[in-house]
Amino acid sequence: MRAKRSKKYRKLMHQYETTFGFREPYQVLVDSHFLKQVHAFKMDLEPYLERTLQGKAKPYITKCSLAAVMESSPTSRPNVRPTQLPPPTILPLRYCSHNEENTPIDEASCLLSLLSPSAETKKNKEHYILATADPTPPTPLPTESTRGRDGQQWRKPAAGPPPPMPRYNLRRDARMIPGVPIIYVKRSVMVLEPMSGITEGVREGVERGKFKTGFVSTTTVTGKRKREVGTGGTGGSGGAGAGAGAGEESGAAAGASKKAKKAKGVNPLSVKKPKKRTKPSQSGDGDQAVESKSQKGGENEEDRDEDVADAGDAVAKTKRKRRHKSRKPEADQAETPAGPVEE
């Protein structure tokens, strides 16, 4: 697939996701004509669908479409699986019930009933994607060959008009349902059809509504509502009302608590630490030492506090006088009494 086409398909599927809530893996409903075209051009069903939708896809076939495939199969034995029908592991059966006898009905009516269960409110609730194709033209009637006098062969057309082309308006009817992507095969290429006029109108309405309510809304196009914050249980209307009342009360209490909050104080980590005060010194030498040290620049507060403390200690302590050794023996002689001198 070319880069321009893949970018276009990716953008188109993103619009389906944001507006109608499509999610991977995409559910694809396949009809009998689409399977014939895929088999005729030797295309793998699941890889081609994923390449077209730019995401994971899961194809399904209904019971009515399966009956149409079995009727159109050229095999004479009814229990033999047709060649254009993939195995159940690749193409599982999608259950559909239209009557009490569970007999198959027209294929187009079956697919339209799954795309929009309610004829009045047309909504693709299950987010199905339709994969269809135009029916193949019928085989022409055999002709009779004759030879002229000159030996040249002439073909004589068969008697009777050609068989009429069957009308298949599934794609036209599917465009009337908003939010239905349509895939078809054209010349061995799987094509994703652009949005129909009805689908485009719904998408534009959703985009206009975003300007009024904001980009985050509680409801979607499919009618599903997101769970509200603070609501009660998911029971009946009474439980929902009680939950809504509790949510309002909790919201009012939260608002009151927010209003009552005030600034408690300054952050202690961001406050400058106070300086330590030293006791006044008795002598002038200590004051001069403190002043000389405080005038020095480039010192931190802690260094200044330590210097002030050391200066105060030096002033408070008195210097011890050291006695000289030469004076000690003279004092000892003065203290000892004089005795008689021996001859």
Q: Which residues pair with 130 in a beta bridge?
A: 29, 182
State the pLDDT at residue 238: 46
Q: What is the pLDDT of residues 172-227, one digit of tens each?
A: 999 999 999 999 998 889 999 999 999 999 999 988 888 877 655 555 565 555 45
State the pLDDT at residue 134: 86
State the pLDDT at residue 166: 59
Are 96 and 62 a contacting pair, CB within 8 Å? yes
pTM for the predicted model, two decimal places: 0.58
State the pLDDT at residue 258: 59
Report in angstroms the alpha-carbon separations of 317 from 45, 276, 283, 289, 304.
102, 20, 11, 15, 20
Are 180 and 115 a contacting pair, CB within 8 Å? yes
Q: What does the alpha-carbon distance between residue 86 and residue 168 come to, in Å, rounded to a whole number?
A: 23
State the pLDDT at residue 235: 44
Q: Which residues pair with 154 in a beta bridge?
A: 146
Closest CA to 215 of 15, 11, 18, 16: 18
State the pLDDT at residue 161: 61
State the pLDDT at residue 239: 45
Q: What does the alpha-carbon distance between residue 49 and residue 26 come to, in Å, rounded to a whole number?
A: 10
Q: What is the mean pLDDT of each run of 10 residues along the chain (343 residues)?
A: 88 94 94 93 94 94 92 71 90 88 88 89 92 77 55 57 67 93 92 94 89 63 52 45 51 59 78 78 53 52 58 59 64 53 47
40: its two tokens:
């005729």
- The CATH number assigned to the domain with range 3-137+166-213 reads 3.40.50.1010
